[in-house]
Amino acid sequence: MTSYSDREDTVGPSTRGTRHFLEELDSADAFVGLYDDKIVHVLERLYRTIVTIDDELHDCSWFHLMQPQDLWDLQVKNVEEGRLVFWRGLNLVLTYVLRSSVQATFTLMKGLITAVHSRNELLLALIARAFVEHASVLSYVDMTLSEKGAHLREVFASCSSDINLAACMPTEEDHDLYIVLFRCALGKKAEVRFGDLPNEGASVRAWERFNKDSVNGVPPERQALSICMCLDKLAKVKRFRWVNTIYAMLSEYCHPNAASRAIEHDVHKNDVGTFYITLSSQRATSPAFNRIYRIVNETLSRLIYLRMRESFAALSTCRMPMAPLEISAEDGVPPIGYLPEVDEHGRRYYYPLMASEYQQEVLTELTAEQVRRAECVFSLLADCYPGIPVAQFIHAFAVQAPRSAEIDLRLFEHMASVYQLELNERPPLDRDARKLLFTAAFFSRAFSTAGELLSFCPSLKRLDDWERVFDRIRDCGLWADEI
């Protein structure tokens, strides 16, 4: 399983006003003096589209993406649970592809505007080529959804509960969709392990083996979508038959050789095949920039307006309906008496300990000793669970399988001891500080580094020596993923 969070360093517009989008991006004069501004109006429409999506998906920041084979295996072991996990996973990977594509598009737009503002023809060509690549991959995903997504749309539109989702059998086309989305989300060309990098004196065979192993180390379902494949599929659409030619021209200009720079010069061929080249003089706006800008204006405008916006809209409508969160966990600090969870959209929220989990079927008959230990833990953490009776707290262990119940009890014992030790060593803490201390103690077991914990809960910066809490929790070696 792969986990990913994009809460930190989000790339996107900082304002949501009604000003022109160039003003929102502090680039109001970028296109002043150019002969045509068709691209500006197209970019603005794209900007408004992705701002709407970005606002809707703002809380979708925590993604746990299972490898395709793991999903298939789970459906074999437990049919109903496997189906539910599959549909949730399909929605989650679709949401991640959509949100990450929105983020990438913001970056591309800013790059294009920077290139135009600085009249930098090479940067403009590089950004334009990246735009074509991005649009082609989005289009490929969109067309795949159009070809194979009918059942997906039907399931997501009609199944409003987990019970209904668990009753829907995924089809082969649904599985194919997951693989395409997974490859789009996490695809890569090579699995490079730098620890295995041969030294300079290694043999040719050693280097060949390293290169071969790096490429072959990526399983088929993890291989990145081929840009050429996506471009070829897009080029079959009547409106975009030119896309391969324009992409090749932009790529050629980006190559560092004299022939590829010919666009910067005046090149003419006479009747006998002789080329005459005149180097362009340095001017405020070079001929090369004007030529690249014209290509961007005439071709990229249509690609953005007719394809990218359509693709974003199509991906948005394929997702599960998403109701507003009752208690968002965006700030990373759980209210006392609540526990965190991530929903099928990648949104982190809090739910009370009185939730249905504590009304499930009893799977473990706790021994008298286990009950005594649970009561002791509760006595140490009682202020963290206001309104929760001790019997309900103990019941939380009984609804787990025997081995899991004992593991969880040991984890809580250690967490409670660290919590009390910190309280004893610190000056008296107010309620908010105790909440932060409990947060640090509770979540430290879920992260392998203090940096990951801080990324999950930035508000821990307000707690003195929060790293010490992390170290004490982790030092015992008791965490669920290693027991």
Q: Are 309 and 343 contained in the same domain?
A: no
Q: Which residues contact 71 (CB under 8 A, 6 or more apart)?
A: 82, 85, 86, 89, 178
The pLDDT value given to residue 473: 87
Domain-embedded: residue 377: yes
Question: Among 43-57, 110-124, 227-241, 261-275, which stretch is predicted with the lowest mean pLDDT?
Answer: 261-275
The pLDDT value given to residue 172: 92
The pLDDT value given to residue 232: 95
Q: Are 116 and 245 contained in the same domain?
A: yes
Domain-embedded: residue 207: no
- Regarding beta strands 266-269 and 275-278, do their DSSP bridges make them parallel or antiparallel, or are they unpaired? antiparallel
Q: Are 459 and 364 contained in the same domain?
A: yes
Q: Which two tokens stand for residue 192?
A: 């490079």
CA distances from 224 to 219, 220, 372 (A): 10, 9, 53
pLDDT at 479 over 70: no
Q: Are 303 and 396 contained in the same domain?
A: no
Domain-embedded: residue 204: no
Per-residue pLDDT of 410-425, as tens digits, reads: 888 998 999 999 999 9
Q: Are 171 and 109 contained in the same domain?
A: yes
Q: Are 57 and 157 contained in the same domain?
A: yes
Average pLDDT over residues 443-451: 80
The pLDDT value given to residue 174: 93
Domain-embedded: residue 467: yes
Per-residue pLDDT of 305-349, as tens digits, reads: 888 988 998 899 899 988 887 666 665 556 655 666 778 888 877
Q: Are 254 and 382 contained in the same domain?
A: no
**278 falls in which pLDDT band (50, 70, 90)?**
confident
Let me know the angle formed at the C-alpha of 115 by 303 and 10, rounded to the nearest 5 degrees: 80
Average pLDDT over residues 123-129: 93
Q: Are 295 and 392 contained in the same domain?
A: no
The pLDDT value given to residue 380: 86
Domain-embedded: residue 329: no
- pLDDT exceeding 90 applies to what percent of the chain? 24
Average pLDDT over residues 427-443: 86
Alpha helical stretches, state H, 63-202: 68-77, 79-118, 121-148, 150-158, 162-166, 172-186
Q: Which residues contact 338 (CB under 8 A, 6 or more apart)?
A: 327, 350, 351, 352, 353
Per-residue pLDDT of 340-398, as tens digits, reads: 677 888 887 776 655 444 445 677 788 889 989 988 988 888 877 776 778 878 887 87
Mean pLDDT of the chain: 81
**How many other C-beta atoms lie within 10 A of the C-beta of residue 113?**
21
Q: Which two tokens stand for residue 146?
A: 């159009």
Domain-embedded: residue 101: yes
**61 falls in which pLDDT band (50, 70, 90)?**
confident
- pLDDT exceeding 70 applies to what percent of the chain? 83
As a whole number of angstroms, the distance between CA 422 and CA 7 comes to 29
Domain-embedded: residue 215: no
pLDDT at 12 over 60: no
Domain-embedded: residue 175: yes
CA dihedral 130, 307, 24, 107 (to 10 degrees): -20
pLDDT at 448 over 90: no
Average pLDDT over residues 417-437: 88
Q: Are 363 and 461 contained in the same domain?
A: yes
State the burial class of residue 482 (Cβ atoms within 10 Å of its Cβ: 0-12, 13-18, 19+).
exposed
Q: Are 306 and 356 contained in the same domain?
A: no
Q: What is the pTM of this model?
A: 0.70
Position 193: which residue type?
A: R
The pLDDT value given to residue 135: 94
pLDDT at 18 over 50: no
**481 falls in which pLDDT band (50, 70, 90)?**
very low
Q: Number of structural domains, the chain? A: 2
Q: Are 296 and 416 contained in the same domain?
A: no
Q: Are 10 and 77 contained in the same domain?
A: yes
Per-residue pLDDT of 176-235, as tens digits, reads: 999 999 999 988 888 777 667 788 788 888 888 888 888 787 788 788 899 999 999 999
- Which residues constitute the domain of residue 399? 338-482
